[in-house]
């Protein structure tokens, strides 16, 4: 076949037509993949939501651990209040200002001031 013959130009146009179809299909595939990527990142339950849910979970885990520590402290306090008479007495004295039966409260009247004698 000669480069200027009608058959040659017909084959060339068929090749161009196939290339055009391939280019269109490739463009469509790229567009579809890009759309899927956008959906994965920005859609409901996408990567952005996943990241915020992870942060929320970490915050709740930390809060849960803090509450567990507080519960342990309170449990120990309850056990001491149930079983430790010295601890109960100490709290009664410190927080409620209570005294024992045979005890007296002494309140100093004031510290005497030294008077300076005029010279």
The whole-number pLDDT of residue 117 equals: 63
pTM equals 0.50
Domain segments of the chain as ranges:
8-43, 44-99
DSSP H or E segment with residue 12 = helix 6-42
**In the predicted structure, residue 7 carries a pLDDT above the cut 80:** no
Residue with tokens 């060339």: 12
The whole-number pLDDT of residue 26 equals: 95
The whole-number pLDDT of residue 76 equals: 97
What percent of the chain clears pLDDT 90, i.e. is strictly above it?
A: 46
Cβ-proximal residues to 81 (8 Å cutoff; 6+ apart), any chain: 87, 88, 91
**In the predicted structure, residue 3 carries a pLDDT above the cut 70:** no
Q: What is the pLDDT of residues 24-69, one digit of tens each?
A: 999 999 999 999 988 887 888 888 888 899 999 999 999 999 999 9
Q: What is the pLDDT of residues 62-100, one digit of tens each?
A: 999 999 999 999 999 999 999 999 999 999 888 988 888
Cβ-proximal residues to 119 (8 Å cutoff; 6+ apart), any chain: none
């Amino acid at each position: 076949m000669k480069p200027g013959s009608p058959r040659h130009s017909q084959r060339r146009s068929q090749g161009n037509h196939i290339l055009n179809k391939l280019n269109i299909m490739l463009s469509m595939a790229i567009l579809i993949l890009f759309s899927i990527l956008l959906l994965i990142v920005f859609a409901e339950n996408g990567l952005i939501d996943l990241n915020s849910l992870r942060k929320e979970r970490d915050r709740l885990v930390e809060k849960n651990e803090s509450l567990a520590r507080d519960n342990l402290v309170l449990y120990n306090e309850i056990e001491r209040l149930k079983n430790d008479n010295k601890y109960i007495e100490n709290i009664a004295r410190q927080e409620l200002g209570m005294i024992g039966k045979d005890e007296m409260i002494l309140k100093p009247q004031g510290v005497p001031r030294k008077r300076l004698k005029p010279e």
